Amino acid sequence: MDTRGVLTPQNEDFPRWYQDVLNKAELADNGPVRGTMVIRPYGYALWERMQAEVDRRIKQAGADNAYFPLFIPESYLDRESDHVEGFSPELAVVTMGGGRELAEPVVVRPTSETIINAYFSKWVQSHRDLPLLINQWANVVRWEMRPRIFLRTTEFLWQEGHTAHATRQEARDYAARILHDVYQDFMESVLAVPVLIGYKTEAERFPGAINSMCLEAMMRDGKALQMGTSHELGQSFAAMFDITYLDADGKQAHVWQTSWGVSSRMVGGLIMAHGDDRGLVVPPKLAPVQAVVIAVRDAEGVVEACHRLSGELAAAGIRARVDDKTGSGFGRRATDWELKGVPIRVEIGPRDLEQHQATLAFRTGGEKQTVNLSEVPEQVEAMLGRIQQRILSDATAWRDSRIADAGTQAEVREASSTGFARIPWARLGPEGEAALAEDAITVRCLQRPDGSLPHSSGEPDLIAVCGRSY
């Protein structure tokens, strides 16, 4: 019996289910060094699609891509005490190079605020140089004690944006623009993952920032996953790295800054937000393969018809692939594509060909329908839009059903066993936050009662969204 498609049920062992999906959908393997990962072609194709969609939105927000070195002088990090203190437990430091001890140790990039700001100090001279909007796609290294592929790894892929502005309001507005127009739009319209937005508490804030905004998603086991962050850095890095400019009146002033990023953990979020006991569920806008055309068996004309139809789908702008490996059983191949979460399977067998039809099988809901071969591109295109909306609607309804209002810490603890709890921040406060943290429950974000983004983390009447997290 072929058991490649068998997954541990989610409600039996969610972490085991997650690992099964990674393996059987051929997404990634553990690397040779603890905490590293090898991203397999299908997993990397998902990341490439994410990268392209986010990159397009970043460019629309006015930022340009650049690249900065992987190795950072240790002295750069020492300039910003809060920043280095926050990252020091995770740093990988190189002390030898070329067989000799280095005169100054270098840190393997954990994030690039320090090295980018060293160059911002050279590039910014006048108010005419502002705003300076830079993004880079890179790998970073943070020594992870409890690794899990895509979620927490020693080395991972990400983008990090860094900007400099003339005023605090400009910086705040731009950080919020990235949060809304880049990250939230991508996550909800492409990933079909509904996110809660808000400010981080002081205890959860990015090291060196004056405000951190975040996007929090709920996974299928009720835990939170931080999908992205956007930070107001204030002027601390500008002061440490002497990033000043001459304003319109000829006076010297420090810039105001932001940084923001999302990472390959979004692949893990995709798996855990939508996956089921049959494997991945990939929204059509993200899917590397939106429709796979499967030859049921190698009968006269079937394989040729599959390739012809795949070309018609491609001409209609649909990302299609042919599965003509008829040496393997049809059932096993269908299961493999289901594991990978491909939105639509187009199945053609000898009888279908005789009747000039194909069977459409949908990953969400499991429905099938028979359509005329000539109508397949039109039907597939229409269904892809419906599937995209259905995945988002289902994920939103499921998440909202697991968010409970709470009035006490005890109620927060109870709600956090299955989802999120909402409690007035004034009732919880830093002391209550610290008490919950002893039970591995954190304040995921602070937001207004209507769920919108506050102007600051000090705004009155804020609601604390609490939960257990990855």
- For the residues of 199-237, what is the DSSP string, one character each? EPPGGGSPTT-SEEEEEEEE-TTS-EEEEEEEEEEETHH
Q: Is residue 439 domain-resident? A: yes
Q: What is the maximum span of the chain, computed from C-alpha positions, in angstroms?
A: 81
Report the CATH number that the domain containing residue 440 is assigned in CATH: 3.30.110
Looking at the fold, whether 100 and 135 belong to one and the same domain comes out as yes
Contacts of 315 (CB under 8 A, 6+ apart): 377
Task: Specify the pLDDT at position 1.
Answer: 33
Looking at the fold, whether 414 and 266 belong to one and the same domain comes out as no
The token pair at 439 is 């039970």
Is pTM beyond 0.85? Reply is yes
Would you write out the chain's pLDDT as a tens digit for each of its 470 residues? 343 458 999 999 999 999 999 999 999 999 999 999 999 999 999 999 999 999 999 999 999 999 999 999 999 888 866 656 666 778 999 999 999 999 999 999 999 999 999 999 999 999 999 999 999 999 999 998 899 999 999 999 999 999 999 999 999 999 999 999 999 999 999 999 999 999 999 999 988 899 999 999 999 999 999 999 999 999 999 999 999 999 988 899 999 999 999 999 999 999 999 999 999 999 999 999 999 999 999 988 999 999 999 999 999 999 999 999 999 999 999 999 999 999 999 999 999 999 999 999 999 988 899 999 999 999 999 999 999 999 999 999 999 999 999 999 999 999 999 999 999 999 999 999 999 999 999 999 999 999 999 988 788 999 999 999 99
Q: Which domain holds residue 421?
A: 403-467
Looking at the fold, whether 207 and 65 belong to one and the same domain comes out as yes
Q: Where in 235-311 does DSSP place strands (E)? A: 244-246, 252-254, 256-263, 291-295
Task: Specify the pLDDT at position 238.
Answer: 95
Looking at the fold, whether 100 and 247 belong to one and the same domain comes out as yes
The token pair at 459 is 């705004």
- Pick the last residue of a domain from 355, 383, 411: 383
Helix H or strand E encompassing 323: strand 320-323
Looking at the fold, whether 73 and 194 belong to one and the same domain comes out as yes
Taking the alpha carbons at both ends of the chain, their separation in whole angstroms is: 35
Looking at the fold, whether 78 and 196 belong to one and the same domain comes out as yes
Q: Is residue 279 domain-resident? A: no
Task: Specify the pLDDT at position 456.
Answer: 80
Q: Is residue 286 domain-resident? A: no
Q: Is residue 4 domain-resident? A: no
Report the CATH number that the domain containing residue 350 is assigned in CATH: 3.40.50.800
Looking at the fold, whether 22 and 115 belong to one and the same domain comes out as yes
- For the residues of 55-88, what is the DSSP string, one character each? HHHHHHTT-EE----SEEEHHHHHTSHHHHHHHG
Task: Specify the pLDDT at position 3.
Answer: 39
Looking at the fold, whether 299 and 416 belong to one and the same domain comes out as no
- Pick the last residue of a domain from 217, 239, 274: 274
Q: Is residue 2 domain-resident? A: no
Looking at the fold, whether 71 and 168 belong to one and the same domain comes out as yes
Q: Is residue 62 domain-resident? A: yes
Q: Is residue 32 domain-resident? A: yes
Q: Is residue 459 domain-resident? A: yes
Looking at the fold, whether 265 and 332 belong to one and the same domain comes out as no
Looking at the fold, whether 75 and 186 belong to one and the same domain comes out as yes
How far lies 426's CA from each of 1, 172, 249, 316, 453, in Å? 58, 24, 43, 54, 17
Task: Specify the pLDDT at position 435.
Answer: 98
Residue 344: CB atoms within 10 Å: 26
Looking at the fold, whether 426 and 295 belong to one and the same domain comes out as no
**Residue 456: helix, strand or coil by DSSP?**
coil
Report the CATH number that the domain containing residue 243 is assigned in CATH: 3.30.930.10
How many domains does the chain divide into?
A: 3
